[in-house]
């Protein structure tokens, strides 16, 4: 049951975590959180060549984290914030699992301590 549930979420999460794993891509997303920007503006602070930045943008777009548009010769990018929902959901589920485990361990330790004092 757990395996099928994980398999259902795995492809999207894998793309998202892969996209978020790189600091350059995270900095691009941080910049795009302020508003849409042309590719040349996104490339400037990275110090990377434009083809390299385009590959980073492609990874972000494939993961659904950004959308691109072209107006004449200018390609612009915008963040798609709702694309992070699966990451947030997965992290919240993991947090709940681990908090439950830690609560049970705390109860067990407290019980052992009580037995020692008796």
pLDDT of residue 8: 52
- Domains of the chain, by residue range, sit at 13-117
Q: State pLDDT tens for residues 52-91.
A: 999 999 999 999 999 999 999 999 999 999 999 999 999 9
The pTM score is 0.76
Average pLDDT score over residue span 12-38: 96
Average pLDDT score over residue span 91-107: 93
Q: DSSP 3-state helix, strand, coil percentages of the chain (rounded to 5)?
A: 75, 10, 15
The verdict on domain 13-117 having CATH code 3.30.1540.10 is no
How far apart (Å, rounded) are the C-alpha atoms in residues 16 and 64? 8
Q: pLDDT-derived band of residue 2, with 50, 70 and 90 as boundaries?
A: very low
């Amino acid at each position: 049951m757990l395996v099928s549930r994980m398999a259902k979420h795995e492809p999207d999460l894998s793309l998202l975590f892969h996209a978020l794993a790189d600091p350059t891509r995270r900095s691009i997303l941080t910049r795009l959180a302020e508003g849409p920007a042309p590719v040349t503006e996104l490339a400037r602070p990275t110090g990377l060549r434009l083809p390299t930045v385009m590959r980073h943008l492609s990874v972000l777009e494939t993961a659904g984290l950004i959308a691109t548009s072209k107006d004449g010769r200018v390609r612009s990018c915008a963040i798609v914030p709702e694309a992070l929902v699966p990451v947030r959901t997965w992290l919240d589920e993991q947090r709940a699992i681990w908090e439950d485990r830690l609560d049970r361990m705390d109860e067990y330790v407290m019980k052992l301590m009580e037995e020692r004092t008796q």
